[in-house]
C-alpha cells in the first residue's frame, strides 16, 4: 500500500462500513445516486479530463444501457445479469461507429458532434413506440441473486459502489502504464505522441469506448434502481450535468468524479428545498445557482475541487523497483555498409513560400551531420519532412534503404528514427521519468486490459529501467521524479533527448538541442553525442551554437532561404567565403 492509493483504501473500507451502519434509508438512496453518477463521471474524467476530448453526450450511453435492459427484461423476460452484457455490446458498437466518425474532428467540432448525437438519441428514445415514447418503460424488477433481492437499499449500495471502486482501480492502474501515458499525451496534440510511435486516433477511440462502457453500466444500474426508464434521464441536459459534475470535482482526477457527483447531488437536493423556501415561490432555481457556481469554478478553480485536496496529500515518488529488470529488446542496427538516410530533392511549399527547395544530402552510419543556416532557412521544416510530420510537396527520403517518403511519422518512428522538437513537447504534469518512458513505446507491448489488471508490471519495470538509464546517460539522473513542467529549458531539452534515445533509434534528429543550455550542460551534451557516435549512432543536428557544431559534426549542410547553399566538412564550411559572409561572421 502506497500513500498515493490512500483514497482507494479509504473507499474500500467505507463501503462495508456504510452498508452496515444504521444510517437513515434516505442517505443510502442519496449514496446510490452518487455512486451511479460517479460511475458515469469516471468515464468523463478519462475522456475529457485526461484525454482532452470534451463530450456532452455521455448521457446517451447511459440511456443505451438503461433501455437495453429495460426492454429485454420486460419483453423477453431476460435476466438482468445477461442484459448488462448485451447493453455493453450495443454500447460498444454505437461508440465505435460514432467514434470513427467524430474523433478525428478537432477543436470545437467534437463537442458539437457530441451535442448532436446527445440530442438525436434523446429524440429517438422519445419517439420510438417500442420504447414507450416519452413515457418510457415502467415496471422493471430490482436486481436479484437467486432468491435474494438486491432492492434499492444497502445491497444496491454495495453493488454500485463495488463497481465504482473496481472502475476507479482499473482507471488508476491504466493511467500509470504504457497505454496510460499514451492516453495522457493526447491532450498535448498528436505530434509528439505520433513521433513516439503512438497511434493517437486508436487511443482516442479506446478512451471513448471505455467511457461509454462505464456510462452503459451506470444506465443498467439506474434502470434497476428507479425501476422505470424514460428519455429525460438521458438527454442533453443530463449530458451537460455529467460534464459539470466532473469539472466541479476535478476532471483531471479519478477522484474528481466521485467528489463532483457527490457535491452536485447533495447541493441539488439541498437547493431544491432551500431556494423555494427562501424565495417564497417554487421553480427550478437550483439550475441558476448551478450555472453561476459553474462559472465561478471554471474561473477560480479550473482544476476542480479534488485538486485542492490532492495538493495536501503527501507526494510520494514512484518507488524504484526496477533495478533487476531485464533490458528491453534492441533493434538491429545498421552495419557500416548501409546508408542510414538519403534525402533526395525534397521540397515543401507553404502557399507561395518555398520553405524547403530541393534539398539533398546523405548520412552514413556513425556520422553526425549538422544542418545549419539562419533563422527561417527551412531547417525545422526539413526535419519535419524527413520524420514524416509534414508531407512533402516533392522529393524522396530513404531510411536504411527503404523509401519512407509516403509514411506517417508514427510508422517512421517505428522503423527507428527518433527526434526532438525545436519547441519542447512534453507532458508537463507527468514526471521526467514518465515523459522519458514514452520513448520506449515502440519497444513494448502492454495493452489497456493488462494495464488495468496490473499484469503489465514486469514490462513496466523494464520500461522504467530503460528510461532511468537514458536519463542518467544524459546527466539527468537527479531529476527522475521531478514534474517535467518544473524543469528549466535546458533540462527539458535534455529530457527530450533521453526520450528519443529510449526509442533505441538508428538515426537521431535533434532540433536545436543546445538552446537554453548552460556552458557545462553544452559540454556534457557534446560528450554524449560523441559517445553515441562511437556506439554507431547516426545523428542529424540542427544547432545555432557554432562551437558545438564545429566540434561534433563530421559533415555540414548549409541552408539559406530554403535552398542548399553548400555542404562539406566543418573545415571546408569554415573556409567557404560565402558561408563565412552569410553565417559565421568574420571572426571565424
Q: Which residues bind ligand ADP (CB under 6 A)?
A: 350, 353, 355, 373, 375-381
Distance CA 381, CA 404 (A): 16
CA distances from 112 to 31, 105, 216, 234 (A): 32, 10, 21, 17
Cβ proximity to ligand ADP: between 380 and 420 the closer is: 380
Residue 456 binds what, of Mg ion, ligand ADP, none (CB under 5 to 8 Å, by partner type)? none
Cβ proximity to ligand ADP: between 422 and 483 the closer is: 422
Q: Does 422 bind Mg ion (CB under 5 A)?
A: yes
Closest contact distance (angstroms) between CB of 380 and ligand ADP is 3
| 255 neighbors 311 (Cβ within 8 angstroms) | no
Q: Write down the residue that cell numbers 434509508 correspond to.
A: 25
Closest contact distance (angstroms) between CB of 373 and ligand ADP is 6
Interface positions, 346-385, toward Mg ion (CB under 5 A): 379-380
Cβ proximity to ligand ADP: between 205 and 359 the closer is: 359
Closest contact distance (angstroms) between CB of 421 and ligand ADP is 11
Residue 381 binds what, of ligand ADP, Mg ion, none (CB under 5 to 8 Å, by partner type)? ligand ADP
Cβ proximity to Mg ion: between 209 and 558 the closer is: 558
| 555 neighbors 568 (Cβ within 8 angstroms) | yes
Q: Does 58 bind Mg ion (CB under 5 A)?
A: no
Q: Which three cell numbers stand for residue 198?
A: 503512438
Residue 27 binds what, of Mg ion, ligand ADP, none (CB under 5 to 8 Å, by partner type)? none
Q: Write down the residue that cell numbers 507553404 correspond to.
A: 350
From the list 210, 174, 172, the residue with the least C-alpha distance to 446 is: 174
Q: Is the CA virtual torsion 246, 257, 235, 214 positive or negative?
A: positive
| 224 neighbors 140 (Cβ within 8 angstroms) | yes
Q: Is the CA virtual torsion 423, 427, 432, 436 positive or negative?
A: negative
Neighbours of 142 (CB within 10 A): 15
With CB atoms as reference, the residue minimizing the distance to Mg ion is 380
Cβ proximity to ligand ADP: between 241 and 512 the closer is: 512
Closest contact distance (angstroms) between CB of 371 and ligand ADP is 8
Cβ proximity to ligand ADP: between 88 and 355 the closer is: 355
Closest contact distance (angstroms) between CB of 381 and ligand ADP is 3
Closest contact distance (angstroms) between CB of 564 and ligand ADP is 13
Cβ proximity to Mg ion: between 259 and 497 the closer is: 497
Residue 373 binds what, of ligand ADP, Mg ion, none (CB under 5 to 8 Å, by partner type)? ligand ADP
Cβ proximity to ligand ADP: between 23 and 546 the closer is: 546
Cβ proximity to ligand ADP: between 373 and 416 the closer is: 373
Backbone angles phi, psi at 368, to 5 degrees: -110, 115
Q: Does 566 bind Mg ion (CB under 5 A)?
A: no
Distance CA 410, CA 202 (A): 12
Residues sharing a CB contact under 8 Å with residue 422, sequence separation 6 or more, in sequence order: 380, 511, 512, 515, 542
Residue 378 binds what, of Mg ion, ligand ADP, none (CB under 5 to 8 Å, by partner type)? ligand ADP
Backbone angles phi, psi at 256, to 5 degrees: -60, -35
| 528 neighbors 469 (Cβ within 8 angstroms) | no
Closest contact distance (angstroms) between CB of 542 and ligand ADP is 7
Distance CA 183, CA 448 (A): 10
| Number of chain residues interacting with Mg ion (CB under 5 A) | 3
Distance CA 363, CA 539 (A): 8
| 59 neighbors 118 (Cβ within 8 angstroms) | yes
Residue 185 binds what, of Mg ion, ligand ADP, none (CB under 5 to 8 Å, by partner type)? none
Residue 376 binds what, of Mg ion, ligand ADP, none (CB under 5 to 8 Å, by partner type)? ligand ADP
Cβ proximity to ligand ADP: between 84 and 355 the closer is: 355
What is the Cβ-side half-sphere exposure of residue 76, based on CA atoms within 13 angstroms? 12
Q: Could you tell me which stretch among 90-98, 266-274, 418-426, 448-456 binds Mg ion (CB under 5 A)?
A: 418-426
Closest contact distance (angstroms) between CB of 380 and Mg ion is 3
Q: Write down the residue that cell numbers 499514451 correspond to.
A: 182
Binding footprint of Mg ion on the chain (CB under 5 A): 379-380, 422
Amino acid at each position: 500500500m502506497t500513500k498515493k492509493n490512500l483514497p482507494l483504501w479509504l473507499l474500500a473500507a467505507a463501503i462495508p462500513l456504510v452498508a452496515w451502519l444504521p444510517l437513515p434509508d434516505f442517505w443510502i438512496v442519496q449514496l446510490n445516486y452518487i455512486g451511479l453518477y460517479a460511475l458515469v463521471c469516471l468515464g468523463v474524467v478519462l475522456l475529457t479530463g485526461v484525454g482532452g476530448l470534451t463530450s456532452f453526450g455521455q448521457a446517451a450511453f447511459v440511456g443505451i444501457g438503461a433501455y437495453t435492459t429495460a426492454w429485454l427484461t420486460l419483453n423477453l423476460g431476460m435476466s438482468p445479469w445477461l442484459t448488462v452484457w448485451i447493453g455493453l455490446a450495443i454500447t460498444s458498437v454505437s461508440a465505435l461507429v460514432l467514434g470513427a466518425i467524430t474523433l478525428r474532428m478537432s477543436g470545437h467540432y467534437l463537442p458539437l458532434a457530441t451535442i448532436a448525437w446527445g440530442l438525436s438519441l434523446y429524440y429517438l428514445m422519445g419517439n420510438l413506440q417500442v420504447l414507450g415514447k416519452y413515457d418510457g418503460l415502467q415496471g422493471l424488477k430490482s436486481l436479484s441473486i437467486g432468491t435474494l433481492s438486491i432492492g434499492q437499499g444497502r445491497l444496491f449500495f454495495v453493488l454500485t459502489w463495488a463497481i465504482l471502486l473496481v472502475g476507479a482501480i482499473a482507471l488508476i492502474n491504466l493511467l500509470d502504464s504504457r497505454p496510460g501515458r499514451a492516453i495522457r499525451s493526447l491532450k498535448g496534440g498528436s505530434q509528439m505522441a505520433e513521433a513516439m510511435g503512438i497511434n493517437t486516433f486508436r487511443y482516442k477511440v479506446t478512451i471513448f469506448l471505455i467511457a461509454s462502457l462505464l456510462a452503459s453500466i451506470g444506465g443498467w444500474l439506474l434502470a434497476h434502481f428507479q425501476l422505470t426508464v424514460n428519455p429525460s434521464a438521458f438527454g442533453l441536459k443530463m449530458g451537460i450535468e455529467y460534464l459539470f459534475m466532473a469539472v466541479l470535482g476535478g476532471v483531471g482526477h479519478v477522484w474528481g468524479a466521485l467528489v463532483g457527483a457527490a457535491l452536485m447531488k447533495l447541493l441539488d437536493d439541498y437547493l431544491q428545498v432551500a431556494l423555494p423556501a427562501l424565495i417564497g415561490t417554487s421553480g427550478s432555481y437550483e439550475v441558476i445557482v448551478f450555472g453561476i457556481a459553474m462559472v465561478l469554478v471554471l474561473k477560480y478553480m479550473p482544476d476542480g475541487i479534488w485538486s485542492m485536496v490532492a495538493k495536501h496529500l503527501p507526494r510520494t515518488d514512484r518507488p524504484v523497483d526496477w533495478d533487476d529488470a531485464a533490458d528491453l529488446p534492441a533493434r538491429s542496427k545498421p552495419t557500416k555498409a548501409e546508408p542510414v538516410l538519403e534525402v533526395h530533392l525534397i521540397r515543401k511549399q507553404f502557399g507561395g513560400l518555398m520553405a524547403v527547395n530541393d534539398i539533398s544530402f546523405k548520412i552514413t552510419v556513425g556520422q553526425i551531420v549538422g544542418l545549419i543556416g539562419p533563422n527561417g532557412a527551412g531547417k525545422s521544416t526539413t526535419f519535419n519532412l524527413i520524420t514524416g510530420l509534414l508531407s512533402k510537396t516533392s522529393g524522396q527520403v530513404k531510411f536504411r534503404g527503404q523509401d519512407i517518403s509516403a509514411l506517417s511519422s508514427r510508422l517512421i518512428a517505428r522503423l527507428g528514427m527518433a527526434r526532438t522538437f525545436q519547441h519542447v513537447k512534453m507532458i508537463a504534469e507527468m514526471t521526467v521519468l514518465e515523459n522519458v518512458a514514452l520513448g520506449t513505446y515502440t519497444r513494448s507491448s502492454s495493452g489497456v486490459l493488462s494495464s488495468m489488471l496490473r499484469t503489465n508490471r514486469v514490462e513496466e519495470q523494464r520500461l522504467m529501467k530503460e528510461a532511468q538509464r537514458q536519463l542518467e546517460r544524459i546527466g539527468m539522473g537527479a531529476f527522475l521524479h521531478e514534474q517535467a513542467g518544473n524543469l528549466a529549458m535546458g533540462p527539458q531539452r535534455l529530457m527530450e533527448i533521453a526520450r528519443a534515445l529510449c526509442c533505441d533509434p538508428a538515426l537521431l534528429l535533434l532540433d536545436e538541442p543546445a538552446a537554453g543550455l548552460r556552458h557545462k550542460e553544452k559540454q556534457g551534451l557534446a560528450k554524449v553525442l560523441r559517445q553515441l557516435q562511437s556506439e554507431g549512432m547516426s545523428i542529424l543536428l540542427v544547432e545555432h551554437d557554432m562551437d558545438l557544431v564545429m566540434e561534433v559534426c563530421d559533415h555540414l549542410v548549409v541552408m539559406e532561404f530554403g535552398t542548399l547553399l553548400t555542404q562539406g566538412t566543418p573545415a571546408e564550411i569554415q573556409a567557404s567565403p560565402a558561408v563565412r559572409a552569410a553565417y559565421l561572421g568574420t571572426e571565424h
